[in-house]
């Protein structure tokens, strides 16, 4: 059982997807499975989040797509990072790290407001 899935924090999905695509072309479905497998289902990407995200990234020119045939012999849209996307991945990774550090400072502090 123990199928406790965490909700994604808004904004982190883009980072996750960019990271997944940093290894080379992949289609949406496989990206979602990859994230679930890696995190042992701690993170789940619903399709209603997945495809809008993909389209968003493409519109911002961080990724590009082309139709190909998947490993399972089905039509699938393969996405790959653009150079803009690579820069964005770097920026968002740094941003995430800073954010986690800032949160950490607050959560571990023992000084009170006032």
Partner DNA sequence: CTGCTCCCCTTGACATTCGATGTATAGAGG
Partner DNA sequence: CCTCTATACATCGAATGTCAAGGGGAGCAG
59 binds its own copies (CB under 8 A): no
Residue 108 Cβ vs DNA, minimum distance, rounded to whole Å: 20
Which helix (H) or strand (E) element contains residue 83?
A: helix 83-108
Contacts of its own copies in 68-107 (CB under 8 A): 71, 93, 95-96, 98-103, 105-107
SS3 state at 68: strand
Contacts of DNA in 22-51 (CB under 7 A): 27-30, 45-49, 51
User: How open is the CA angle 16-46-78, to the nearest 5 degrees?
Assistant: 60
Please answer whether residues 26 and 38 qualify as being in contact, where contact means their C-beta atoms are separated by less than 8 angstroms: no
66 binds its own copies (CB under 8 A): no
Q: What are phi and psi of 36, to 5 degrees?
A: -65, -40
Angle between helices 28-38 and 12-21 (to 10 degrees): 100
Residue 110 Cβ vs DNA, minimum distance, rounded to whole Å: 22
Which helix (H) or strand (E) element contains residue 12?
A: helix 12-21
Interface with DNA (CB under 7 A)? 7-8, 10-14, 27-30, 45-49, 51-56, 70-77
Interface with its own copies (CB under 8 A)? 6-7, 9-12, 15-16, 19-20, 23-24, 26, 30-31, 33-35, 38-39, 42-43, 71, 93, 95-96, 98-103, 105-107, 109, 111-114
């Amino acid at each position: 059982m123990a199928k406790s899935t965490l909700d994604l924090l808004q904004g982190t999905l883009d980072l996750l997807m960019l990271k997944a695509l940093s290894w080379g072309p992949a289609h949406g479905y496989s990206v979602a499975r990859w994230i679930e497998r890696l995190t042992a289902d701690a993170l789940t990407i619903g399709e209603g989040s997945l495809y809008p995200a993909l389209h968003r990234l493409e519109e911002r020119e961080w990724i590009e797509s082309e139709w190909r045939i998947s490993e399972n012999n089905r039509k699938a849209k393969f996405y790959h990072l653009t150079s803009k996307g690579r820069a964005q991945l770097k920026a968002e990774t740094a941003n995430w790290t800073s954010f986690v550090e800032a949160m950490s400072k607050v959560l571990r502090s023992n000084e009170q407001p006032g």
